[in-house]
């Protein structure tokens, strides 16, 4: 065995950590005899190989195998009668369109001479620290594709992307480019994906994968509220706690597409990357196109483990670190914020904001954020976007007096911006009407009275970076809420020749990322929230440059429970900003207690967005108490392992979540009642993820356990016997929270 291992090129990386009992190491190896590549990390093994035809075929993606186990050898599958050639029946890692391929291609190009076929064969590879770069090229034309693979040692999450390069002498048009195709073992699956709309994001959809293709996508120029670039495929017997789940997330904030396909031979594959709709990027000789990264993971621990693995990966590998915590293993828990939007809307003023800041500080808020309305001629949403100078009527002395006041009160200061947009009623648009996305001779469709600046243009990029840099240089600003309040229409770029204009779909998003990266580099202490009228731009691409996201403009605490539930399948509670706002809620007119609203928001990163100037002394006391209690357990809530104990979906009268910190020394439990009926008591809450042998002390944060519940019991007791709620825990829109501390 040792001799056999030595014969291989073996790159082994061992990383000590402890996570869900996985092997905490990554290993990669290439077997030159069998021409197979293998990546092991966390609890996962991934393997692919070069077939006798030269194509790259997937071999295995599943639970981690022993180092000595074989992953087989790539061999083309036979044709299926004369209608399905071997090229289309054989799964590929990254299939070029041509040669009779009828399943979803990863790459489709057209050449100047009319040839539109591309057949990619293996050329060479390079071993990386935790992965490989594998070079392929077309069988006759010098189109090279380098597939990038890395595996995360802790979670086994793979990162896959491709670089497409034209080494020929004539231009080539890329019509469709995916980051990767993931092939699953032939089986029956349930697909989970997230959809929504403005104020109704994060609906979890679950359906069987039947024959044909299910497309999840955005054609909007940005990620979109309507679908989110995440999927999970669970084997038939899987549920929240058990069973095999394959999942993935695309790191791209422009138009994207994920196609889940079950083909005529029942093979299941997932292909994702740039949305091919209206796509067409010309690669001139020597030019390259980098695709986004498509992350993919596997677990046999059900949907719960799938999201815990993804959350951990986001915390460890995706999210930025701010200065002072750059060396930290994880980003710091979010400061508790106050945001004035729902209290004042556009009617911001120095005195009004200062009064709110005083109230916010008294509640224990860490960060005061002034929202829309502070700049240009911004009285409502008809004017001002684009003119990023302080409105002199509202702030006659600039921002400094307010910022100083916020600092004196012990908070840091944050500001709302919407850098990519312009109102036609603005000095910027009057000066540069050519800076917006537009088609020649066509109407410029306004939405929320605004147009989209063409961030792909170098002059627009320079303007946007320039004003943000100036704002951050001249003012002591710790945080930007970066908003984006409409989608594209007329995606034209008239500086370029018509055939070149579709590169907008790539260049816009790349410039967005590069502005964010440059700002963070120059102002390393500044933190940023990605907001797009709520959750319209949430994905692993933007989360490399932003610290948190605005989940939804819908802050109704009951609606938020289902939204937060859906959100949690893909994204960590760390980034899930949740504000407490006023009751009755502006949208649903639903009245709820302050304690219920606080506990709903405490599931994520807590903020206050109510008109606190109007709060009674009792409300102020309640909020102060619960904010203090939240801060004590916040790291466990936002960075611990999340267990969705009772789902709030399907008309459930109840819901509950639990989070357990990494060393299992603390757990936090939230329980919510929608509406008690027929006197049914709250179900017994059997905790998960505790150390069965350790003793945990129960402490209520809000609400009471049933009389006689032990103050201290073993993890085994809390997990097997469970926690029973007191009889008084009944009614409509009730909430309770408990902490369990290891003794
Ligand atoms: C969007 C955001 C809100 C608020 C407004 C301001 O709708 O999602 O939170 O900032 O814009 O105009």
> Which string of DSSP letters, residue by residue, matches 552-604?
BS---HHHHHHHHHHHHHHS-GGGEEEEE--SS-TTT-----HHHHHHHHTTS
Dist CA 80 CA 86 (whole Å): 7
Peptide bond into 329 cis (omega under 30): no
Dist CA 415 CA 517 (whole Å): 18
Q: Which of 380, 484, 553 to mutate to test the pocket of ligand 1 (most atoms within 8 A of CB)?
A: 553
From the alpha carbon of 532, which atom of ligand 1 is closest?
Answer: 8
Tokens of 37: 């590549």
124 forms bridges with which residues in the sheet? 135
Coil vs helix vs strand at 425: strand
Distances in Å between the Cα of 355 and the Cα atoms of 343, 398, 408, 429 are 12, 17, 13, 34
- What is the CA(468)–ligand 1 centre distance, in A? 18
- What is the CA(633)–ligand 1 centre distance, in A? 29
> What's the pTM value of the predicted model, to 2 decimals?
0.96
Dist CA 206 CA 216 (whole Å): 13
Q: How confident is the model at residue 12, as a pLDDT?
A: 31
Q: Which residue's CA lies nearest to atom 11 of ligand 1? A: 533
Tokens of 136: 């392929």
- What is the CA(347)–ligand 1 centre distance, in A? 13
Q: How confident is the model at residue 325, as a pLDDT?
A: 58
Which helix (H) or strand (E) covers residue 551, if one does?
A: none
CB distance 503 to 491 below 8 Å: no
Dist CA 631 CA 633 (whole Å): 5
Q: Please calculate the CA angle 545-158-183 and round it to the nearest 5 degrees.
A: 125
Q: Which of 372, 418, 420, 577 to mutate to test the pocket of ligand 1 (most atoms within 8 A of CB)?
A: 372
| Beta-strand pair 9-14/25-31 | antiparallel
What DSSP string describes 140-172?
SS-EEEEEEEEE-TTT--EEEEEEEEE-SSS-E
- What is the CA(552)–ligand 1 centre distance, in A? 10
Dist CA 176 CA 167 (whole Å): 18
From the alpha carbon of 371, which atom of ligand 1 is closest?
Answer: 10
Ligand 1 neighbours by CB, cut-off 6 Å? 341, 371-372, 416, 483, 485, 531, 533-534, 550, 553
Beta strand spans in 263-386 (E): 268-274, 281-283, 288-290, 293-299, 337-339, 367-370
Q: How confident is the model at residue 330, as a pLDDT?
A: 85
- Ordered mean pLDDT values, 10 residues apiece, the chain (743 residues): 34 35 81 98 98 98 97 97 96 97 98 98 97 98 98 98 98 98 95 98 98 98 98 95 98 98 95 98 98 98 98 97 68 97 97 98 98 98 98 97 98 98 98 98 98 98 98 98 98 97 98 98 97 98 98 98 98 98 98 98 98 97 98 98 97 97 98 96 98 98 97 98 96 98 98
CB distance 660 to 666 below 8 Å: yes
CB distance 273 to 217 below 8 Å: no
- What is the CA(483)–ligand 1 centre distance, in A? 7
Name which of 740, 563, 714, 743 is nearest 636 in CA terms.
Answer: 740
């Amino acid at each position: 065995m040792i001799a056999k291992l030595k014969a291989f090129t073996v790159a082994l990386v061992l990383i000590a950590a402890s996570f869900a009992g996985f092997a905490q190491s990554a290993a990669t190896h290439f077997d030159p005899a069998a021409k197979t590549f293998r990546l092991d990390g966390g609890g996962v093994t991934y393997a692919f190989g070069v077939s006798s035809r030269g194509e790259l075929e997937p071999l295995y993606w599943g639970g981690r195998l022993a180092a000595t186990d074989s992953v087989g050898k790539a061999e083309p599958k036979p044709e299926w009668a004369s209608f399905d050639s071997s090229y289309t029946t054989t799964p590929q890692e990254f299939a070029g369109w041509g040669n009779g391929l009828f399943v979803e291609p990863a790459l489709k190009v057209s050449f100047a001479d009319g040839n539109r076929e591309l057949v990619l064969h293996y050329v060479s590879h390079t071993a990386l620290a935790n992965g490989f770069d594998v070079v392929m090229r077309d069988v006759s034309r010098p189109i090279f594709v380098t597939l990038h693979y890395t595996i995360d040692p802790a979670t086994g999450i793979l990162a896959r992307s491709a670089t497409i390069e034209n080494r020929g002498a004539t231009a080539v048009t890329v019509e469709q480019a995916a980051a990767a195709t993931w092939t699953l073992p032939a089986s029956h699956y349930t697909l989970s994906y997230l959809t929504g709309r403005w104020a109704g994001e994060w609906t979890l959809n679950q359906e069987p994968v039947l024959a044909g293709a299910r497309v999840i996508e955005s054609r909007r120029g940005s990620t979109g509220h309507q679908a989110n670039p995440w999927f999970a495929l669970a084997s038939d017997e899987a549920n929240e706690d058990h069973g095999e789940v394959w999942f993935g997330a695309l790191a791209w904030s422009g138009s994207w597409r994920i196609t889940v396909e079950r083909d005529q031979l029942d093979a299941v594959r997932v292909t994702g990357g740039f949305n091919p709709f209206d796509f067409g990027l010309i690669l001139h000789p020597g030019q390259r196109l980098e695709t986004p990264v498509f992350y993919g993971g596997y677990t046999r621990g059900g949907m719960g483990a799938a999201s815990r693995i993804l959350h951990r990966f986001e915390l460890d590998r995706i999210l930025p670190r701010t200065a002072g915590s750059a060396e930290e293993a994880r980003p710091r828990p979010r400061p508790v914020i106050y945001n004035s939007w729902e209290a004042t809307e556009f009617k911001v003023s120095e005195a009004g904001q200062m009064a709110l800041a005083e109230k916010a500080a008294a509640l224990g808020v860490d960060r005061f954020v002034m929202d829309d309305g502070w700049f240009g001629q911004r009285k409502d949403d008809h004017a001002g976007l684009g003119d990023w100078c302080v409105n002199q009527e509202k702030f006659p002395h600039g921002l400094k007096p307010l910022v100083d006041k916020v600092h004196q009160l012990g908070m840091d200061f944050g500001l709302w911006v919407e850098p990519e947009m312009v109102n036609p009623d603005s000095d910027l648009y009057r000066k540069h009407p050519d800076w917006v996305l537009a088609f020649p001779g066509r109407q410029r469709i306004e939405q929320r009275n605004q147009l989209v600046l063409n961030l792909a243009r170098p002059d627009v990029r320079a303007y946007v970076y320039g004003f943000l840099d100036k704002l951050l240089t001249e003012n002591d600003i710790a945080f930007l809420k970066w908003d984006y309040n409409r989608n594209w229409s007329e995606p034209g770029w008239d500086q370029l020749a018509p055939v070149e204009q579709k590169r907008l779909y790539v260049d816009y998003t790349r410039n967005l990322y590069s502005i964010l990266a440059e700002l963070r580099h120059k102002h390393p202490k500044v933190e940023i929230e990605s907001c797009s009228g709520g959750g319209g731009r949430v994905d692993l691409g933007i989360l490399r440059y932003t610290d948190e996201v605005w989940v939804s403009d819908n802050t109704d605490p009951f609606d938020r429970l289902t939204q937060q539930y859906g959100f949690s399948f893909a994204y960590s509670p760390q980034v899930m900003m949740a504000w407490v706002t006023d009751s009755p809620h502006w949208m649903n007119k639903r009245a709820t207690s302050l304690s219920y609203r606080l506990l709903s928001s405490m599931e994520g990163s807590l903020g206050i967005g109510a008109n606190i100037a109007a709060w009674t002394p009792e409300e102020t006391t309640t909020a102060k108490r619960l904010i203090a209690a939240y801060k004590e357990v916040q790291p466990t809530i936002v960075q611990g392992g999340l267990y969705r104990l009772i789902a709030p979906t399907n008309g459930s009268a109840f819901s509950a979540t639990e989070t357990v910190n990494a060393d299992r020394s603390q757990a936090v439990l939230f329980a919510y009642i929608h509406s008690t009926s027929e006197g049914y008591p709250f179900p017994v809450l059997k905790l998960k993820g505790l150390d069965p042998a350790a003793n945990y002390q129960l402490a209520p944060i809000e609400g009471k356990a049933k009389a006689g519940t032990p103050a201290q019991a073993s993890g085994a007791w809390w997990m097997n016997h469970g926690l029973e709620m007191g009889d008084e825990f009944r009614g409509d829109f009730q909430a309770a929270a408990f902490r369990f501390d290891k003794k």
